[in-house]
Amino acid sequence: MFKQEKIYMPVPQQLGRGDRMGRGPYEKSGIIEDTGLPPGKTVHERFDILFPTRDEKEGKETVRKIIAHELEIEVQLWYLPYGNMNSDPFLWHESIQKVKISETGN
């Protein structure tokens, strides 16, 4: 129901000029921007995930029904030496947690 990816890496500049990213070492000669994890620093990320709901008509009103009161959240940090999941991906860290919301309300 929710999937989001963020990429952390120095973005190499093709031949050290212009706005194109280089790919192979032979054409990389600069860095356009660096979104990698800098040494000694903490990178903070925040994701806001809405629980699944369904809007139903009840008389004249529309009522939002909650489909699930619990979500399983899986966060993975992958290292992709060649930039994609097809080539030698490495799962660096993983966290699986459950988030519950109350079912009774006030």
Report the residue from 5, 19, 24, 59 that binds other proteins according to the rule CB under 8 A: 24
Inter-residue contact 71 to 64 (CB < 8 Å): no
Inter-residue contact 32 to 19 (CB < 8 Å): yes
Q: How far apart are CA 58 and CA 63, in angstroms?
A: 6
Quick check: 20 binds other proteins (CB under 8 A)? no
Quick check: 38 binds other proteins (CB under 8 A)? yes
Quick check: 10 binds other proteins (CB under 8 A)? yes
Other CB atoms closer than 10 Å to residue 30's CB: what's the count? 14
Size of the site for other proteins (CB under 8 A): 54
Quick check: 49 binds other proteins (CB under 8 A)? yes
Quick check: 9 binds other proteins (CB under 8 A)? yes
Quick check: 27 binds other proteins (CB under 8 A)? yes
Inter-residue contact 51 to 66 (CB < 8 Å): yes
CA dihedral in degrees (64, 3, 1, 73; nearest 10)?
Answer: -90
Binding interface with other proteins (CB under 8 A): 8-10, 12, 16, 22, 24-31, 34, 36-51, 53, 64, 66, 69, 71, 73, 75, 77, 79, 81-82, 87-88, 90, 92-93, 95, 97-101, 105
